[in-house]
Chain A
Amino acid sequence: MTPLLDVQDLSIGFGPSEPVVRGVSFQVMPGETLALVGESGSGKTITCRSVLRILPETARIHGGTINFKCNGKAINLLDRSERVMRSIRGDQISMIFQEPMRSLSPLHRLGDQVSEVLRLHRNMRPADCKKTVLETFERVGFPDPARVWRSYPFEMSGGMRQRAMIAMAMVAKPDLLIADEPTTALDVTTQAQVLGLIKDLQKDTGMSVILVTHDLGVVANMAESVVVMNKGRVMERGPAAAVLGAPAHGYTKKLFAAAPMIPEVAAPAREGKHDDLILHLRNVSKTYTMRAGGWSKPMTVTACHEVDLSLQRGKTLAVVGESGSGKTTCARIALGAETPDDGGQVLFRPAAGATPVQINAMSQAERIAFQRQAQMVFQDPYSSLSPRMRVQQALTEPMEIHKLGTKAERREKAAEMLRLVGLDSSMLGRFPHAFSGGQRQRLSIARALTLDPVLLVCDEPTSALDVSVQEQILTLLEDIRDRAGLSYLFISHDLAVVARIADEVAVMRQGVVVEQAPPDTLFYNPRHPYTRALIAAQPEPDVNRPIDLTLVAKGAGTPASWPEQFRFEGIAVPALTELEPGHKVRCHV
């Protein structure tokens, strides 16, 4: 069988500097899924974009061929005219981009956007066009295609937009679909469903797929063959089962070791102690009033509802949930950046046995003292350090604010903190923009530690990082916690990340905690359908453990669609019931 796409010895560079893609070769067979795996900067996106010749303007293709079998004969896509390329794009090769929020035009109705492909390539009558598009909408899982035809992208959630994007890519029935990190921006349950959809569509139409991803779990679920890239070169390529079963190259091994996994648990954990709470959120709710505009009544939105969380000194409490579940609001309330609604209480005990400080009603002096004891690590390492401040200024700023030490002492402390997070003190005079995401996240942790806090709130500290760096940062955080006796409130959307660091996990959904237990108990015996869906949706880097989509579908819907025992609507929720010691589930008993 001849390959559908044959990339040979491809080299691409920017300007006169070293090429960013060097000697890349791979083939895609008809009907096959090929995964391009690599971390940021590995050249995987440049490689797949070169197939459609949609590279940035400054990029130059130094050499190589890309042969594509078009109507039975192979043509080299790199030497065709722009005109030929236009007729191929969207018709025979189409692409799905990473950001569903940005890849659809906000000014056009979805129907018009999707049918544009047909108008350009098929010369169809408008009525036929509409019929085909509606069929495609139905095929990608929209319950009411006619309504989708009329709606604008901003009326839809991220997952729905990505479905619309898939519909747009699929409507002309291409031979090859290039999906560039199609699920990275989505919640894990939505990711599972979108991956399932791509797989189904592929089965129906027999197209080939190039899937660009950084997640070995996604590869194991989707691909037949794998190309592992690092720094613009192919490290290993071959059948997925072989590469994932027994990685041969050192880099693949490293990626594999770093991939977060939900562990197999033999027995539930014993109940953790709760006798020395450093942080206690009691009955915390937060509603926002939104001006609806015009004369209509203001709307109230519940960000979180009756949340009870307690964090034992020296331990880690993880709050897990998808975007919009209220987990970040909880963190902000815990740090005193937001005040809870009346009736809620946040208690902070700086030392064992000390009188608790009520964070939601602090005096000015108490607040200043609290700000030294509780610090935060942010999600985005690229925006959490000011580009105008040298590393030293950024690290000494907290001490300046609290007027601690002399200039020399501050500098000494900053250098010490750098060493603590595994960096060299020669970095002090540099600027943060010279460093990678992982290095910046280390800097940001160092900054949070300069005041010697006792509580650290980590708001998705690893979700913007590559897997291998994520692993290093988690190890660093664990190490610091144990050495300095810190307590963490850890916010994450990823159960697998939480699995290794947390002592207790609270799963949140639509502003309420639906299940709370130590991680081992949670993985051994998940009771709530949403927790089960989260666990099932986690892609494992093991070809023999595919995602169970029915389990995901059961729990990922709205709370009103859950089984009788767990069902609720709005904020009329059942109580959080302790089913076994230390394992609480929100259900009707």
Chain B
Amino acid sequence: MTQLPDGRFVDDAPYSDSTDLSAPERSDMDASTWVLVWRKFKRHKLGLISGIFLLLSYLMLPVAGFIAPYTPNERSADYLYAPPQSVNFWHEGEFIGPFVYPTTATADLVNYRWTYETDETRPMPLQFFCEGATYNLFGFIRSDTHLFCAPEGATIFLWGSDRLGRDVFSRILYGAQLSLTVGLIGITVSFALGIFFGSIAGYFGGKTDWLINRAIEILRSLPELPLWLALSAAVPSNWGPVAVFFIISIILGILDWPGLARAVRSKFLSLREEEYVRAAEMMGAKPGRVIRRHLLPNFMSHLIASATLSIPAMILGETALSFLGLGLRAPAVSWGVMLNDAQNLASIEIYPWTAIPMLPIIFVVLAFNFLGDGLRASLDPYKS
């Protein structure tokens, strides 16, 4: 700073007027929107961890049979309501690798329950890449190799067994195949309907908009649970588990679309006011092109975030229906079906591990919520 005689201060640093007109002003923004969203999302730790957790969960689905030591409906008739077993590494202070202690069941006829005794003198090492019951890898490759299984004469019930002696851990892995995908199929149905109705309501306005809005309001005013019940009660009871599964996810999707359609409609209305949309219209672009090239890409990210947030509702819906015995039915395995077995309060009290399927539901629903939250927070990368 230099002081001039008239009392003012002038900066001495050399000043040049020339600027490079083509240089990006914000070099940190010099990337596609998805890259910017990803950069911002990376900083959202909880969302990132949830995203990785969900990714691993979904990647696990096709190979669930390989990871699970048992198949879902494989019974061990001698081990009904077996408690969770631990996998140990040290026996009497000596490292001998992963092993289990064998257990034997005795019927306690006084209290009318099963009690288990662990024989802690005989460590039995786990077997790896062993042969067991056959299952389908990726749904079509028949295989009987399991990642790990119990040695002859022992069992490996990591999270206990249920009333028919089926391994809860294995059933949870198999149940994930249905419970996690029901949300995806449901959301696809809901997406298709929501985008279709939301965008015609938003684009054409007027009478169409009025009709769709009233339809949405009527759908949303119906009490959800009784409606699910009514619709799934209408599914013929002689249908196979796969058909029931598809019908259930479609029912969930049909009841979920109004929320999404509203989101699409309001986003549509606000995006239509953007000047780039008006510019395209003035250049002579037809409505189809405006929607495809300008509107959809710009609200896709918002849709994905809101979809992520509505998947948990679907998962919970499936669980609720199956829990009430109106959704998926045995022999299909889903988390809701498993909880159906745990309906009996007395059995939860004596055999608390039968309620373990609640844990994956809680974790998955929370993870979807955190992920959706993180996505929503990073969707607008232009402001920072």
Contact = CB atoms under 8 A, between A and B. Distances in A.
Contacts of B279: 376, 378, 384, 444, 447
B8 A248 contact: yes
A368 interface: yes
Interface stretch (B139-147, B227-235, B283-291, B320-328): B283-291
A251 B1 CA distance: 15
Contacts of A372: 284
A442 B30 CA distance: 18
A397 B283 contact: yes
B15 A388 contact: no
Interface stretch (B55-63, B293-301, B333-341, B364-372): B293-301
B25 A435 contact: yes
B17 interface: yes
Contacts of A442: 21
Contacts of A390: 32
A431 B29 contact: yes
Contacts of B15: 235, 249-251
B282 A434 contact: no
Nearest to B380: A387
B10 A235 contact: yes
A404 to B, nearest CB: 12
A375 interface: yes
Contacts, number: 129
A248 B289 CA distance: 54
Contact of B17 (A254, A383, A387, A424): A254
Given A402-B284, A430-B24, A239 B7 contact: yes
A378 B29 contact: no
Interface string A378-417: 1110011111111000000110011000000000000000
Nearest to A236: B10
Interface in B6-49: 6-11, 13, 15-17, 21-22, 24-27, 29-33, 36
B109 interface: no
A60 to B, nearest CB: 15
A236 B8 CA distance: 7
A378 B1 CA distance: 41
A123 interface: no
A439 B17 CA distance: 16
A384 B4 contact: no
A342 to B, nearest CB: 22
B22 A427 contact: yes
B283 A398 contact: yes
A234 interface: yes
Contacts of A401: 280, 283-285, 289
B22 A387 contact: no
Contacts of A509: none
B8 A237 contact: yes
Interface stretch (B247-255, B259-267, B270-278, B307-315): B270-278
A397 B280 contact: yes
Interface residues of A, number: 53
Majority secondary structure of chain A interface residues (helix, strand, loop or mixed):
mixed
Given A337-B282, A371-B283, A388-B297, A238 B33 contact: no
B95 interface: no
Contacts of A371: 282-284
Contacts of A402: 283-284
A390 B25 CA distance: 16
A426 interface: yes
B382 interface: yes
A248 B4 contact: yes
B24 A435 contact: yes
A442 B19 CA distance: 15
Nearest to B278: A378
Interface string A422-459: 11101100110111100100101001000100000000
B61 to A, nearest CB: 32
Nearest to A371: B284
Contacts of A427: 22
Contact of B276 (A238, A375, A383): A383
Contacts of A451: 283
Contacts of B285: 397, 401
A28 interface: no
Interface in A305-326: none
Contacts of A489: none
A233 interface: yes
Nearest to A225: B8
Given A375-B282, A436-B25, A386 B11 contact: no
Report which residue of B11, B281, B297, B298 has the largest number of chain A beta carbons within 10 angstroms of its beta carbon: B11
Interface of B: 1, 4, 6-11, 13, 15-17, 21-22, 24-27, 29-33, 36, 274-276, 278-285, 289, 293-294, 297-298, 382
7 contacts: A237-B9, A378-B275, A384-B275, A397-B280, A431-B29, A433-B29, A433-B33
Given A233-B13, A397-B280, 4 more contacts: A401-B289, A426-B22, A433-B36, A434-B26
- The 9 tightest CB contacts between A and B, nearest first, are A238-B8, A424-B22, A434-B24, A371-B284, A436-B25, A384-B275, A434-B30, A388-B297, A378-B275
